A = this chain, B = another copy of it.
Amino acid sequence: MTNSPMDTATALLKRIETCEGTVRAFTTYDPVRIRMEAEQAPAGPLNGLSVGVKDIIDTVGYTTEHGSPIYTGNHSRGDAACVTQLRNAGAVCVGKTVTTEFAFFRPGPTVNPHDVTRTPGGSSSGSAAAVAAGMIDIGLASQTAASLTRPASYCGTVGFKPSYGRYAAAGIKSLAPSFDTLGTITRDVATAARADAVLKGPVATTSHLSPTAPTRIALCRTPHWDEAGEGTRHAVEEAARLFGAHVDVVELDLSDFSDAASLHITIMSYEASQALAWEFTQRRVQLSDQITGLLEAGQRIDYATYRDALARAEELRSRFAALVPSGTAVLAAAAPDVAPLLSEGTGSPLFSRLWTLLRLPTVTLPGLTGLHGLPVGVQLLAPFGEDETLLDQAAWAETVLPSRPVPSVHV
């Protein structure tokens, strides 16, 4: 932080040169522009921090290709709100990070910095991998199902998905607007809190993070515990044990939320098939089978079914609010297990659908490991709107969990 902007830029570029050939986290970055931005960055609370921008987010000076050949060479006229907010606060935009196709499943070229034969997760693949590899400090990421939490878990990073609507969505390609949520991937909670103080409003503020244990921790295995692998079971139980040495850990039974995942799929499919209507109608041959399947599924859902799903989701949100008192942190699995092999895709979103449906703020925390010492994250969640409390709790939890595993490309 006390380095000159040019020292920072030079160190940044050196790190990128070292790692990017292997990790392939960026769709594009420009050393000249990075130096220029570093030199010209206004004084602000994010000075010295570098940002990678998920490639579904409009960014002047770089292409915005949404992970799709339909948008090859696409330049936006302006920056998305979040990019302007971060730049105004003194951060340097390093470039665009790889996203899966339209933030759904078809992967880009990025690999996991902990094991280059494995996926970094998706859809925020490049942001998670670049942060894990130390190429950027803040990865802008988004989540419609599990697109932030899952890569954060696989890459051993901190993932913060705030309450739905907390950060401005202007200039971000939409997939399913009932769920689309902008968030960040960072190496520690403090950096997520610094970014939060900038992204939550029109004027940048300084974060006041105060690590604080939650009143209690509610361990929720979710209705999908049977599908959790060994790494995840161990991580969640171990986190509960470590936290339990300091605060009460109680069980949260959400077995009557078991329709949440299917409600999430109904709403997401219906909305995606509208959000991507032009691409489906005019550019179908350039779409993957995966996203075509999603859009066709959406077309088979009628309005009454969609509306009932929206109404039921609202009911579940109210029920959760009544069940979980303010000050409680919910502890839950972040992903089914360690990162799958690249050949298996970007992993399953199953362990986030419920939470995304509920629109809750969540922090994914690294420190625990599974097979071959690969990272396995755990989620801490809070009641809707308690984002700042959650960040304080996550900062406390960070001190209780083991240190973030260091990726192999780091050496």
Contacts and interface: CB of A to CB of B under 8 A. Distances in A.
Nearest to A307: B385
Number of copies: 2
A306 B169 contact: no
Interface string A171-192: 1001001100000000000000
Given A201-B303, A202-B274, A274-B170, A71 B81 contact: no
A202 B170 contact: no
Contacts of A299: 202-203
A168 B275 contact: yes
Nearest to A274: B168
Contact of A303 (B178, B200, B270): B200
A81 B274 CA distance: 6
B84 A281 contact: yes
Nearest to A84: B277
A248 B71 CA distance: 56
Interface of A: 60, 70-71, 74, 77-81, 83-85, 87-88, 165, 168-171, 174, 177-178, 200-203, 205, 270-271, 273-279, 281-283, 295, 298-299, 301-303, 306-307, 385
Given A70-B78, A201-B301, 18 more contacts: A60-B282, A78-B279, A78-B282, A80-B278, A81-B278, A84-B282, A169-B174, A170-B174, A170-B177, A170-B275, A170-B276, A170-B277, A201-B270, A201-B274, A202-B277, A202-B295, A202-B301, A307-B385
Query: What 4 pairs across the A-B complex have the smallest Cβ distances?
Result: A202-B273, A168-B274, A84-B277, A78-B278
